[in-house]
Structure 1
Amino acid sequence: MTSSSSSSPKISDVSYISEFVSKYQKGMEMSFVIDGKPRVCEFNQKMGSVAILLFHKERNQFLLVRQFRPAIFTSHIANLPENHGKEFSDIEWTSYDTEVGFTIELCAGLIDKDGLTPREIASEEISEECGYRVDSDDLIHIVTFIVGAHQSGNSQHLFYAEIDETMKISEGGGNILDGEVITKVFYSLEDAMRIARPGRGEHAEVKGPPGVIFAFQWWFFILDPTKKGLIARPPTDYEWKPYNPKPIHSIEFSTDFDKKKYGFNPKRMTFTMNGITRNWDLALCPNTTTCILVDMAKKHLVLLQKMRAPVFIGRSRAMPENTGKSLEEIQFWKYDANMAYTLELVVNRVPDYEDPRKFVRIAVKQLGYDLPEDSFHLQAKCIPGIGQSGDTQFIYTADVSKARVCEKEEDEDVEEIRIPFNDLASLYKQHLVGPPNTYYAIGFVLDQVLDRDVL
């Protein structure tokens, strides 16, 4: 990995406020009726996004970006033992190394430009952040994920592009008017491979979102026909459709709600770095642990179908006919109930300072599979909420065919879905199936479980 800068700038004049109006997030209480039952949940109105995996052909390296993420800095420092229970105003923020808040990410940006398609926005982001001109028509669309399924239900469009020095138009660095300070980082094929396929007994650790892990996995085992992986397994005619979807109706939103009820605790951070004073809006979330569950005896990947009301809203908002409309103007009743459903990995929150393996075991046991803690193997560690939530996620793997069957915790919004290994290549090609780690799990099984039998 090579970067034009390795030093971390100092941070000063750090302060936080809780009462503010943000164009980047708007927390609401959402009420609705499903299957005749009134329900209430949290909804955080956010923007969709794009991300681009860039490969520099002349250097034979991937181009990523390094930047400071206030949410990660804040989450990490606030959760240190010496700061546990403190008010933000009592924490000595400037005494900490800002390096904890820097990430390595794909070139990316918000869908916040009216009249531009995700492809066009992606093209602009490559120019602004990395300094290369890539025509929007030359971008390869890899997949569209669901992100923030539990809160916002937004989508992220992931693209791929190849670049060389003839396409260079500037040094990049981001939009100065927005206060962006972005450094380009080049990853060798060897460094990227260690993330896409860590060695036995090792795990991938990315100081960035799960999309980085997935993108490298895609490049090595799908794009390149000389490698074994998904490319060697032609898709079947399998297509996932939600089992027994229930229409959502009578949808209403309110901004007058008890934020502590959901743990929604927004903050606006003000700070100075690199001589620039900026504001950044946060909505911190706890760390989580998740697990890629396989049944090696039956050759199944075990996923969870979840009813996600925020996803229904997020996907409806993303419809072209709803561009620029407020939530109150959207006719949600006319959209397919299937849009509310996702396929996800089992997940659990991890309290501060606790072992994530302990809590992934608890989550799996609630599904009816009792496995000892040493059955869970850490596969990857990443940061899903780089922009606003700052949370870390631990991704484990486990074989449920070795589990003792135990009592299952019933949840009417969750259905276990088993997908045969042979059908996974087809599922991989579907958009909006779930979050990035769902697609990563599919690729993990097809590459590492089938080819290398790592479990």
Structure 2
Amino acid sequence: MEQINNIQVVPCTSSDILKPFRVHYSQNGTRKSWDFMQTHDSVSVLIFNTTRHCFILVKQFRPAVYMCEWEKSQPEKVKEKVSEEAGKDASKGGEPGAESAETETDNAELDSGHIQDIPPASVGVTYELCARPVDKPDLSLEEIARQEVLEECGYDVPVTKLRRITSYRLGVGVTGAKQTMFYAEVSDENCVGVAEGSRQASEGELVEVVKVPLHEAIRFAYDENIPKTMGVIFSFVWFHSNMSPKYKISTNV
């Protein structure tokens, strides 16, 4: 997860995950436009292990987070690289041989000449809830959530044991997709022997399962030095507000 190299920034001409659009509309008599991305809705699951009194999160490398951090540290170089690649994409009508050689040269420069300016992979690693896009229309949200808990974290949880917390919108300025959050209590007995925590490399993901002790959860949620999603913060606060009497824990921050 920590070994990131051979970085190439290129235009995205097509994607199975994101589709860019521009909408034109009138609001109170004023003509406006807005750019947005169409993507899948998703589910997320707050997992609490009752045997060990800890939360089960996943940690993974997020290229979008990494590129944001890279751009903040080297804004001009990142913009320059994007402009170069966009220019090459727009000039595909030239001689193929020359274009191929130019691309190879640029890639070599990125790998060797700028390698000292590339931030460590750790700046793109985030802590998240177990989550998955809603990309199986024949399954209910609960069934999709159950499958992801099993595949990503190695816990076999019956659908009937999933408690729906709420749903909300993500990235309202860019995607507006809806995420539905569930709560699941598991025990060590529910852990099936699927290498707790590692997603198959063939699926394009490298996920590490991490445990956050119950007594450290609120500190974890508010620690700005720990990169995490808003779902982690909200779900930990929800747990302390709704489940603390059951486990007789303090909600003091």
Asked whether the 8 Å contact 1:221–1:227 carries over to 2, the reply is no
> What does residue range 328-343 of structure 1 map to in structure 2 within 5 Å?
none
1:122 aligns with 2:113: no
Show the counterpart of 2:219: 194
2:162 & 2:124 partners in 1: Cα distance? 30
Show the counterpart of 1:48: 41
Aligned residue pairs, count: 217
1:76 aligns with 2:69: yes
Show the counterpart of 2:210: 185
1:23 & 1:53 partners in 2: Cα distance? 27
2:137 & 2:12 partners in 1: Cα distance? 27
SS at match of 1:63: strand
Using the size of structure 1 for normalisation, the TM-score is: 0.44
2:225 & 2:72 partners in 1: Cα distance? 20
> What does residue range 35-434 of structure 1 map to in structure 2 within 5 Å?
35-80=28-73, 83-86=74-77, 87-88=80-81, 92=114, 95-169=118-192, 170-171=194-195, 172-196=197-221, 204-225=224-245, 226=248
Q: How much has 1:217 moved relative to structure 2?
A: 0.3
Letter aligned with residue 107 of structure 1: C
1:190 & 1:168 partners in 2: Cα distance? 22
2:135 & 2:115 partners in 1: Cα distance? 31
SS at match of 2:8: strand
Gaps of 5+ in 2: 83-108
Show the counterpart of 1:16: 9
Q: 1:30 to 1:93 in 2, by over 3 A?
A: farther
- CA offsets per residue over residues 66-124 of structure 1, 9 Å max, x none? 111111111111210xx221223676357532111111111111111231222111111
1:119 & 1:184 partners in 2: Cα distance? 21
Letter aligned with residue 88 of structure 1: K
- CA offsets per residue over residues 279-336 of structure 1, 9 Å max, x none? xxxxxxxxxxxxxxxxxxxxxxxxxxxxxxxxxxxxxxxxxxxxxxxxxxxxxxxxxx
Show the counterpart of 1:286: none
Letter aligned with residue 76 of structure 1: E
Letter aligned with residue 69 of structure 1: R
Q: How much has 1:58 moved relative to structure 2?
A: 0.8
Show the counterpart of 1:30: 23
Q: 1:84 to 1:105 in 2, by over 3 A?
A: same
- CA offsets per residue over residues 339-361 of structure 1, 9 Å max, x none? xxxxxxxxxxxxxxxxxxxxxxx
CA RMSD for the aligned pairs?
A: 2.3
Letter aligned with residue 241 of structure 2: F
Asked whether the 8 Å contact 1:206–1:212 carries over to 2, the reply is no
SS at match of 1:16: coil
1:152 & 1:61 partners in 2: Cα distance? 32
1:152 & 1:99 partners in 2: Cα distance? 26
Q: How much has 1:25 moved relative to structure 2?
A: 0.9
2:81 & 2:154 partners in 1: Cα distance? 37
Runs of 4+ deviating beyond 4 Å? 226-229
Letter aligned with residue 68 of structure 1: F
Q: 1:9 to 1:150 in 2, by over 3 A?
A: closer
Q: 1:18 to 1:115 in 2, by over 3 A?
A: same
Asked whether the 8 Å contact 1:50–1:108 carries over to 2, the reply is yes
Q: How much has 1:228 moved relative to structure 2?
A: 8.1
2:76 & 2:167 partners in 1: Cα distance? 38
SS at match of 2:76: coil
Going by fraction, where is helix more abundant, 1 or 2?
2
Asked whether the 8 Å contact 1:195–1:216 carries over to 2, the reply is no
Going by fraction, where is strand more abundant, 1 or 2?
1
Using the size of structure 2 for normalisation, the TM-score is: 0.77
Show the counterpart of 2:105: none
Show the counterpart of 1:412: none
2:42 & 2:125 partners in 1: Cα distance? 20
1:228 & 1:192 partners in 2: Cα distance? 11
Q: 1:157 to 1:223 in 2, by over 3 A?
A: same
1:66 & 1:72 partners in 2: Cα distance? 13
SS at match of 1:85: helix
- CA offsets per residue over residues 115-147 of structure 1, 9 Å max, x none? 122211111110111011112221111110111
